[in-house]
Amino acid sequence: MRSPISALAALIALLAAGTGCCKNPGLASQAPLCNGTGNAICSGECVDTTSDNANCGSCGVVCPKGTACANSVCIPTCVGAGGTLCEGQCVDIQTDNINCGGCAGDGGVTCEPGEKCQTRGCVLTCDVDAGYVECPTAKPTYCADLGDDPLNCGACGHACIPGQLCQAAQCVCPPGAPLLCLVGGAPVCTNVQQNNNNCGGCATPLASDAGAADAGGLNDGGTNKDGGEDSGPPEDRGADGGSKDDAGEPDAGPEDAGRDAGSSALDAGPGHSGPCAPGQSCQNGSCVETCDTDAGYIPCPPQNPTYCADPADDNNNCGSCGFACTGGQTCTNGVCENSCAAPSILCKGSCVNPFNDNKNCGGCGLGCGSGDLCITGSCPGACANGQAVCGSGSTAACVTLGTIDDCGSCADSCTGANPACCSHSCHDLSNDPNNCGNCGATCHQQVVPGCCGSTCKDFNSDPANCGQCGNACGGATPVCCGEKCTNLTGTPGDVNNCGACGKVCAGQTTPGCCGGGCRDFSNDKNNCGGCGRVCGGQEPACCNGVCKDLSGDRGNCGSCGNNCAISGGLFGTNPGCCSGACKNLDTDSSNCGSCGNDCNCFLCFTCIGGTCI
């Protein structure tokens, strides 16, 4: 059994072993007392050397600017246009020929000689119609969109300064930091309403007599010259916005208000431009001792306040200090909300629809390859069954076919009094007998089916819709028979519908319909040649539609059609019809020369050549 003294010595040795790193704080040691908050103790603090930028891999290993600690190794942090890390380098997979569409071998491809990378796909020729241009100009290797490419804004090689956006081919600062100020000799987009070193205006103008770099020179790739001039277009050339003039006196510009050329004196009053004094904070462009909490301002950051933020609408301090709105959101009443109407998102300062925008398909900067379309946030997109890709470019979308606007195909719009899309085919339910009133409602019980005003009609017999919709029968033809208006009892009437629809006058030599009854106009003495034409008097018979006298008409002698002149030549060259009988007027002694001329009455006995002898 150990003595109390030996036990105490052992405990002291154990504690010394457990906290041995404190003897040399520059070395990392295992940290049993960190309780899971880190894997080592560096300078007396528990840290995670796998991700701590100040102690990456071991204590004191600080990751340089532009890198971050990941898995105990400092690797480049990729942001902006070159936002993808491929083999230790930040690249833009939209335009990188070696890593086009993704890192080579990991979803991306390396373009063949002569090809160029355009929106994550290799092409032989840039799509100029979509706004792409071959860059660099001297030896093109990729296709750039000059309208929103911060590395080629407005022209190949015209790179915006870090932090700026390229909008409509112009480099601009974001709304939250709209003014360019020289910080450490480099232009930086700055919020002069809150920046303690540039409160109310830039402490150092962009263009000065010292030959400082101006905004235009860095934006358009021009040479920075003394006085801030550059070789870019006149509209891009840097202006100091009111910087000190050659005499060193202050001018009227907002950048120099409160400062002259050679003074570093601070002016916390209105019109101040520059750093605030120690202990002051920048509030709404003015240096103040205490933030105006009554107006809603709060000091930020809380540990060491340098400016006054309005948490109601400050995108970097929304609701509280340090709570920044991201992904294009804006701060509204202390809550981060989408600045673009759904489903659009903010990309490079513009609202785009990630579901159909070829340059931002599924998210900002995710462009589709040449010939592909962004559909439902992916490229090439695939539509669900029953849908088709309608539109092109930013208007492309999956559209459900079978609707009144896109019936059988895209933009196949149905029209008419009562339009409908039935089985992917346009129909007018107001007049389609196969879809009358509703899709599939057929008019099949009618002899001649028709659809009028979405109601089935029989064109064969409907007097209000005879043969077609709206063709009403009336007046002299009040009845509809066989798609035609007619008169069943007229004089004359319809020989095909005499007295009733479908009753046809047949069997007559010359059929006719009179008063609803069939007649033969060729021999009916009461309707000879037409209804109501009655034969009588000297011509009581009807022959071939003409009233005749059968007793004396040698063409219809005794009966219709009995022609004495052609009756086999029996009646000579001078035939006649006498009392309904054919006679030879040259030889007939009872009808010599004419009917009734009887030779016996003149004491003559014979007729020769029509003369009694």
Q: What is the pLDDT of residues 34-54, one digit of tens each?
A: 554 566 788 877 787 877 888
pLDDT over threshold 90, residue 468: yes
pLDDT over threshold 80, residue 326: no
Domain ranges of the chain: 489-548, 571-612
Q: Are 376 and 368 in contact (CB under 8 A)?
A: no
Give the tens place of pLDDT for each residue, 195-213.
888 898 888 877 643 333 3
Tell me what the mean pLDDT of segment 170-197 comes to.
85
Q: Are 474 and 466 in contact (CB under 8 A)?
A: no
Beta-carbon contacts of 494 under 8 Å, excluding residues fewer than 6 positions away, are 481, 486, 487, 488, 513
| Residue 178: cis peptide before it, omega within 30 degrees of 0 | no
pLDDT the model gives residue 404: 92
Structure pTM? 0.42
Tokens of 328: 């294009």
pLDDT over threshold 60, residue 220: no
> What b/e readout covers 330-345, taking b as 16+ CB neighbours within 10 angstroms?
bbeebebebbbeeebb
pLDDT over threshold 80, residue 362: yes
Rounded mean pLDDT of the chain?
77
Q: What is the DSSP letter of 7?
A: H
Give the tens place of pLDDT for each residue, 547-557.
999 998 988 99
Q: What is the rounded CA–CA span in Å between residue 430 and residue 448?
A: 17
3-state secondary structure of 81: helix
pLDDT the model gives residue 365: 75
Q: Are 18 and 24 in contact (CB under 8 A)?
A: no
Percent of the chain at pLDDT > 90 equals: 22
Tell me what the mean pLDDT of segment 48-71 comes to.
78
pLDDT the model gives residue 371: 62
